[in-house]
Structure 1
């Protein structure tokens, strides 16, 4: 999944049109990064978190922010577990896909069950008391997963409803409709 999409969605939430100045060379040799007042913020999750706090898309307090961070870190763990299967499924690696499918299914069951329990517990329709940068990240991940896994919609309809709820937010809807889909 291209995590830059999450940061771009957060920016799009606040600005109808924005420009990102591309620097010729990153100080760390990696992308993405964000330059703010001669300071550089590296790594997609960190800059997305920064943008979320800057534009009112963070939790209401320290505990809610910790919960958002925890959910996103747990999502990253899921991606690490699912990556071997996904790389073969999308043609980015070679291997025995049938051997990896049960591990992938297990990882999906564990992750999507956890996410659904969190959504049920909070009751707002989002992972926190209101829409957050974490919701953007997860909705992007779910959308990407749907591009190569037809079973997700059947197995986890409430998760698909959650993604639709996030993507139906006016500016996010506009952004998602205009951009190209990520494969991974």
Structure 2
């Protein structure tokens, strides 16, 4: 098995689904984390015509990235999908894989609408919270209603016939949304059940009990 090194901020965010996959698979990996204030030194900088960074810098100016025996994979979904295929956490066939991809792409659309609300409510951004809350509520209702229909249709408790890499993305996303929406459990009790079901998987449960807390 190759050496894995996951590079990301010291928060859950877009790195957390891959961390969860590693723990679920029982696979050792190097979990390289950094504080927010370190990021300017990690991002590549153009010096003398060459991109440099204080640490092993991001080639793209973005994170997370996964190093696999020196080869790099960028983009959180690409990393999670790669690990899903590697650790038998993909769909059973092409249709299931397409449905997993569709759910994750829909989740990313939801985040595009919800992100500003998260940032302002957490005090890390500026904006009209009331207006952002309206947009967030609309996006939340649209996406989580869609996700609930998918889970009910499949009937396995997951978004495919068995647990997949996509479930880790979505369950942790629900956790984040719950941190910003005090009424989420009242509005979407089935989504909370789904999140709890994923988090109750033995190796995931053990990891979650020990992982650092972060609002997102």
Q: TM-score range by the shorter chain?
A: over 0.9
Q: Do the aligned residues in 1 keep the contact of 2:22 with 2:28 (CA within 8 Å)? A: no
1:109 is displaced (CA, Å) by 0.7
Indicate yes or no: 2:193 matched with 1:161. Answer: yes
**Residue 42 (structure 1) aligned with residue 103 (structure 2):** no
The structure whose residues are more often strand, as a share, is 2
1:5 is matched with which residue? 16
- Which structure shows the bigger proportion of residues in helix conformation? 1
Deviation (angstroms), 1:35: 1.9
Q: Which residue does the alignment assign to 1:133?
A: 165
Bigger Cα Rg = 2
- Shift in Å, 1:19: 2.6
CA contact (8 A) 1:58 1:132 kept: yes
Q: Which has the higher contact order (CA 8 A, sep 6+)?
A: 1
Q: Give CA deviations for 1:124-143 in whole Å, capped at 9, x if unaligned.
A: 00000000110001000111
Matched, 1:18 2:50: no
Looking at structure 2, the residues matched to 84 and 39 of structure 1 have their Cα atoms a distance apart, in angstroms, of 33
| Partner secondary structure for residue 106 of structure 1 | helix
User: 1:21 Cα shift?
Assistant: 6.5
Structure 1: where are the runs of 5+ without partners?
none
Q: Describe the SS at the equivalent of 1:136.
A: helix
Do the aligned partners of 1:143 and 1:163 also contact (CA within 8 Å) in 2?
Answer: yes
CA RMSD of aligned residues (A): 1.7
How far 1:27 sits from its partner (Å)? 3.0
CA separation in 1, counterparts of 2:29 and 2:121? 35
Query: So what's the TM-score if we normalise by structure 1?
Result: 0.93
Where in structure 2 are there 5+ consecutive unaligned residues?
Answer: 1-11, 34-54
Partner SS for 1:28: coil
Could you tell me which residue of structure 2 aligns to residue 120 of structure 1? 152
Deviation at 1:104, TM superposition (A): 1.2
Residue number in structure 2 paired with 1:147: 179
Question: What is aligned with 2:39?
Answer: none
Q: Which residue of 2 aligns with 1:70?
A: 102
Q: Is the 8 A contact 1:144 1:181 kept in 2?
A: no
Which of 104, 113, 121 is the matching residue for 1:89? 121
